[in-house]
């Protein structure tokens, strides 16, 4: 072969080899991955709704990778394209979540408002229930008298030993009901007033009536009622309700009155 | 003699010209990818600020590793390594952006779960 021909051939083959390198390259795994992820993003409804710009960037990146001049470049560009497609999917998902968060938060506000209204309603129901509990207490305590001052419960002298201020166990039931009522009606106050018959000295009777009233008051307080809701007084023999000349009359006069003061009375 | 002249022409001008043209197409003198590295660095910092350490630790690690390799390649001063440094910086940028996107989505998911719970609690309260 002539040198000229060799030279021409070698230049041509060199040029061909270099051009070949630019024109077509083998398919790479990276490129397939990028295309798969892009297709996934493109077909995603959230992407079409929330991330069209990111999807467009992913498309440009994919096209750039497809035009790569060599395998090395293509793998790099395909990697970038795949990342962009992944980002697109995440952005769409996030924006979708943010949209539902917005509507959920509106829904929450609405529910809170409704609930507040409902609470006000149930407060009214509570008040009605409390009212019916007052009537129930009145009904249950047979010896309760309604007066101008309020509901009067009378603990007869049977609940005390003669001449002493210790409360006998029989009073507990009445006290328990009273405590329950006062707990349910925190604005109501109670007057606890002790009385005696006319036997014995005035001073003794005054003192005894006071101590008995205090014993009753203490059992109310130990039920959980604040002391400042109670007014404790001893009247001695000054306020009889019956004739002191008979045994029955005297028994009626020995008493502690618990007055559940009408609302607003102190 | 005439053929000899042709050969001489080829050897003196044509071959070097073609080779030079082809070579310049592929191998210019490279500049360090300073801007690409700066972008990647910023994206990594943003991802870290967005709790990527908690929600996308692997992607953040990829980004940091590639960023570090890119910086090392530039620091070597060998300009043959600059193109690779540029590619690494670009990939670090993509990884960091993915880490950030992943974190933000995870946080939104968490918020949504919390919101669901609070709505359920309200519904329970409403039906009491």
ipTM above 0.95 for this complex = no
The token pair that represents B100 in the structure block: 């950030």
- Cα Rg of chain A (Å, integer): 47
Beta pairing partners, A160: A167
Q: What is residue A24's predicted lDDT score, i.e. its pLDDT?
A: 56
Instruction: Enumerate residues 6+ apart whose C-beta is below 8 A from B11.
Output: A7
- What integer is the mean pLDDT of B66-93? 96
Q: Which residue intervals of B10-56 are DSSP H helices?
A: 15-26, 34-49, 52-55
> Which candidate from B10, B98, B126 shows the least CB-CB separation from A86?
B98
Q: What is residue B18's predicted lDDT score, i.e. its pLDDT?
A: 55
Instruction: Enumerate residues 6+ apart whose C-beta is below 8 A from A42.
Output: A55
**CB–CB contact B10 A118 (8 Å):** no
More confidently predicted of A2 and B33: B33
Residues of chain A contacting B123 with CB distance shorter than 8 Å: 111
> Which candidate from A11, A87, A111 shows the least CB-CB separation from B122?
A111
In this prediction, the residues of chain A whose per-residue pLDDT falls under 50 are 19-23
What is the pLDDT of chain B when averaged over all its residues?
87
| H or E, element range at A176 | helix A172-184
Q: CB distance from A100 to chain B under 8 Å? A: yes
Residues of chain B contacting A2 with CB distance shorter than 8 Å: 3
pTM value > 0.90:
no
> Which candidate from B10, B22, B101 shows the least CB-CB separation from A18?
B22
Residue B36: which of B78, B72, B67, B61 has the closest Cα? Answer: B67
Distance CA A16, CA A59 (A): 31
**CB–CB contact A111 B15 (8 Å):** no
Distance CA A214, CA A233 (A): 8
State the residue for tokens 């044509």.
B14
Q: Is the pLDDT of residue B19 over 60?
A: no
Q: What is residue B9's predicted lDDT score, i.e. its pLDDT?
A: 62
Distance CA A55, CA A61 (A): 10
- Which is it for strands A145-146 and A255-261: parallel, antiparallel or unpaired? unpaired
Residues of chain B contacting A8 with CB distance shorter than 8 Å: 10
* DSSP helix/strand/coil, A232: strand
Nearest-Cα distance to chain B for A183, in Å, is 23
Sign of CA dihedral A174, A177, A181, A182: positive
Sheet holding A150-156, edge to edge: A145-146, A150-156, A255-261, A190-195, A230-234
Is the CB of residue A205 less than 8 Å from the CB of residue A196? yes
**CB–CB contact B126 A115 (8 Å):** yes
> Which of A23, A92, A111 best probes binding to B when mutated, by most B CB atoms within 10 angstroms?
A111
Which stretch of A62-66, B98-102, B122-126 has the lowest confidence by average pLDDT?
B122-126
Distance CA B70, CA B93 (A): 11
Distance CA B100, CA B53 (A): 10
Q: What are the pLDDT digits (tens) for A83-139? A: 999 999 999 999 999 999 999 999 999 999 988 888 888 888 888 887 777 777 766
Residue B50: which of B81, B93, B95, B96 has the closest Cα? Answer: B96
State the distance between the two ends of chain A, measured CA to CA, in whole angstroms: 132
Q: What is residue A76's predicted lDDT score, i.e. its pLDDT?
A: 96
Helix and strand tally (H, E) in chain B?
Answer: 6, 0
Chain Cα centroid distance, residue A143 = 43
Q: Is the pLDDT of residue B115 over 90?
A: yes
How many angstroms separate the Cα of B97 from the Cα of each of A71, A88, A141, B45, B106? 25, 11, 78, 10, 14
The DSSP code sequence of A55-87 is HHHHHHHHHHHHT-SSHHHHHHHHHHHHHHHHH
**Phi and psi, residue A225, nearest 5°:** -95, 135
- What integer is the mean pLDDT of B91-105? 98
């Amino acid at each position: 072969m002539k040198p000229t021909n060799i030279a021409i051939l070698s230049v041509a083959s060199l040029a061909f080899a270099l051009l070949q390198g630019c024109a077509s390259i083998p398919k790479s795994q990276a490129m397939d991955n990028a295309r798969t992820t892009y297709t996934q993003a493109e077909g995603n409804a959230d992407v079409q709704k929330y991330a069209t710009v990111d999807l467009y960037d992913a498309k440009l990146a994919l096209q750039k990778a497809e035009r790569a001049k060599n395998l090395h470049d293509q793998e790099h560009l395909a990697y970038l394209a795949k990342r962009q497609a992944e980002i697109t999917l995440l952005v769409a998902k996030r924006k979708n979540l943010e949209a539902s968060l917005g509507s959920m938060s509106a829904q929450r506000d609405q529910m809170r408002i409704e609930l507040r209204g409902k609470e006000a309603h149930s407060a009214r129901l509570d008040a009605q229930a409390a009212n019916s509990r007052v009537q129930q207490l009145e009904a249950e305590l047979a010896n309760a008298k309604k007066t101008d001052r309020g509901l009067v419960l009378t603990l007869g002298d049977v609940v005390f030993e003669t001449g002493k201020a210790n409360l006998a166990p029989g009073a507990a039931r009445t006290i328990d009901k009273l405590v329950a009522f006062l707990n349910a009606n925190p604005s109501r106050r109670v007057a606890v007033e002790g009385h005696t018959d006319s036997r014995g000295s005035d001073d003794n009777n005054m003192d005894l009536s006071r101590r008995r009233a205090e014993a009753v008051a203490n059992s109310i307080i130990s039920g959980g009622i604040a002391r400042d809701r109670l007014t404790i007084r001893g009247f001695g023999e000054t306020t009889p309700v019956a004739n002191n000349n008979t045994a029955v009359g005297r028994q009626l006069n020995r008493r502690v009155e618990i007055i559940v003061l009408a609302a607003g009375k102190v | 003699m005439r053929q000899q002249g042709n050969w001489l022409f080829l050897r003196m001008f044509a071959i070097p010209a073609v080779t030079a043209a082809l070579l310049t197409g592929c191998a210019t003198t490279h500049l360090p990818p300073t801007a690409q590295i700066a972008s990647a660095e910023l994206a990594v910092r943003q991802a870290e600020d967005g709790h990527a350490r908690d929600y996308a630790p692997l992607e953040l690690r990829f980004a940091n590793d590639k960023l570090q390799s890119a910086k090392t390649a530039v620091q070597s001063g060998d300009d043959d390594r600059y193109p690779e440094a540029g590619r690494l910086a670009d990939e670090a940028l993509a990884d960091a952006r993915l880490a950030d996107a992943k974190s933000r989505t995870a946080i939104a998911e968490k918020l949504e779960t919390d919101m669901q719970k609070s709505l359920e609690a309200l519904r329970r309260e409403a039906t009491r």
